Each structure stands twice: as structure tokens, then as C-alpha cells.
Amino acid sequence: MARYFIGDIQGCHSAFLNLLQQVEFSPSRDTLYLLGDLVNRGPDSAGVLRQCMAWGDAVQPVLGNHDLHLLAAAHGMRKSSRRDTLASVLEAPDRAALLDWLCQQPLARSWTDAQGRQVLMVHAGVQPSWTLEQTLALSAEVQQVLTSPALPDFLQQMYGNLPDQWNEALTGADRLRAIVNTLTRIRFCTPEGRMDFESTESAAQAPEGLMPWFTCPARQTAQHVVAFGHWSTLGLINQPQLMALDTGCVWGGQLTAVRVENDLQVRELIQIDCEQAQRPG
């Protein structure tokens, strides 16, 4: 039984299928952990979602910022931009089922290997002060809203860069927005966790006073493996405690998977070249 951690697919359905064909994926035997941004920018977001739904519990995604953007567009809370490719979902005859399936997915997951080591899966990152357990609990707060009648109100208030630092005393829309921005948007922050949403450069080009979230001192999840996507300019990182797997499939880069069986430290890297769907910039 293999587990595959896969970076941002972003609607690149053909590349997704090609990768799984290469590894001889079997939904009756294997599990896919998808690290967010299943949709948008690529040519067939609906195809990706339909395939994931068809494979049932063999597919275990977390939501990314583009997935939430699709929900906001579907509820009329956000206009599609010229670079969005969401029509295949928004105009689909099975639109309601696709969107409902997406709402059932969390912003964070975890898995424990046979040695008791845990991997935390998120799309973008975590606050330095958050433990693994706290991250999962905060993800559950958002998921509860995604599956409730309060969803439209949440989507209307989801966008914005403030508050830019976590505080346990946050409530209401501010609290949910801080959770969403951390789990689906963070790249750089201060050592104390104040987030910056302007820079999308590589980790080596951190703005003054900022650092990649995963290098923050005293990060509470540092003892676990953290797997994430979101940051294509970061490039592949496959270290004992860190897996960064967004390698720019939609930009003509690669779609990346890491294969694990029972030991998180024993990994096989699989990559396929992708046809460019959009140009950066």
C-alpha cells in the first residue's frame, strides 16, 4: 500500500493522470494526498475534481487558495480574473456535486507512519506558534463553516490581508481569515509569525526582516514532517522534516509526487514534465 503526496495540480488533468499511470496507482490499494490547488489556471479543473470524486476515500486532499477562490466565484462573492479557468466547473451540469465535494475537504490533514512519525499536510504553511494538533483543530473550524449555511457569509468576508498575525483571542471573520491566510497563502513572515502577502519570490530572496515560514525559530511543528505546495518559485524541497512539492506544473514545470509506504523517511521521488498551460507574470 503506497501513499503519494502530490503538489499543486491546478486543473492539469492530463498531467495528473499521466503521473498516476506512471506509478501504477490503484485506488483500491493506494492513497493520494493532494496538497491543495486542485483547480484553476490549467485547462480541466472539472476533470480533476470528477476524477478525485470517482476514487472516493483513496483521494485525501487539502484545500488551497485557488480551491477556495472557486467556491467564492461559484457563490458570486468574487469575480473570475482573466487568468482564471474555472468555467469547466462553474458551467458544468454536475457543478453542484463538484462544489459540494470540495466543501467537504479540510485545510489540513495528518498521517502517522509505522514508526509513529507524523506528517502534517497543508497547502501553504503554518504559524510558528501552532502545534500539529492546533493546526488540525483550526482547520476544523473553517471546515465546519464550509459545510454550513454560513458558507456565503464566510466567503464574502474571506478575502483580505488582515489580521496578519495569529492571536488566539481572534473571533468571527477575523479569526477565520487568519486561519485561511496562514494555511493557504503564507510564504514569508517575521520570526514572530506576522505574515507578508506581497512577495512570491524564492526563499533565497526574502524581503528584509522576513523569512520563509518554515525557517522561523522555535516553530512548534519542526519535529514533524510538513508537506505543502503553493510556492512554485521555491522549487522542490525533499528533506527529512520538510516536503515542498509545488514544482510549477501549470507553468510548464513538473508535477511532483513523493511515494511513501510505512516509513516517512524512506521516500521515492516521482516527477513528470508538464505542458505549459499559462505563462508566469
| HEC secondary structure over 159-185 | CCCCCCCCCCCCCHHHHHHHHHHHHHH
- Cα 172 → chain centroid: 23
Q: Tell me if residue 270 falls in helix, strand or coil.
A: strand
| Residue 99 domain-assigned (yes or no) | yes
Nearest to 108 by CA among 276, 221, 251: 221
pLDDT of residue 281: 65
pLDDT of residue 87: 95
pLDDT of residue 280: 78
Strand pairing category for 31-34 and 242-244: unpaired
Q: Whole-prediction pTM value?
A: 0.97
| Residue 27 domain-assigned (yes or no) | yes
Strands (E), 166-234: 188-189, 195-196, 211-212, 225-228
| Residue 19 domain-assigned (yes or no) | yes
| Residue 241 domain-assigned (yes or no) | yes
Residue range(s) defining the domain that contains residue 236: 3-273
| Residue 279 domain-assigned (yes or no) | no
pLDDT of residue 79: 82
| Residue 278 domain-assigned (yes or no) | no
- Average pLDDT by stretches of 10, the chain with 281 residues: 97 98 97 98 98 98 98 92 92 98 98 97 98 98 98 97 97 98 97 92 87 96 98 96 98 98 97 91 65
| Residue 280 domain-assigned (yes or no) | no
pLDDT of residue 86: 96
| Residue 239 domain-assigned (yes or no) | yes
pLDDT of residue 80: 78
Report the domain count for the chain: 1
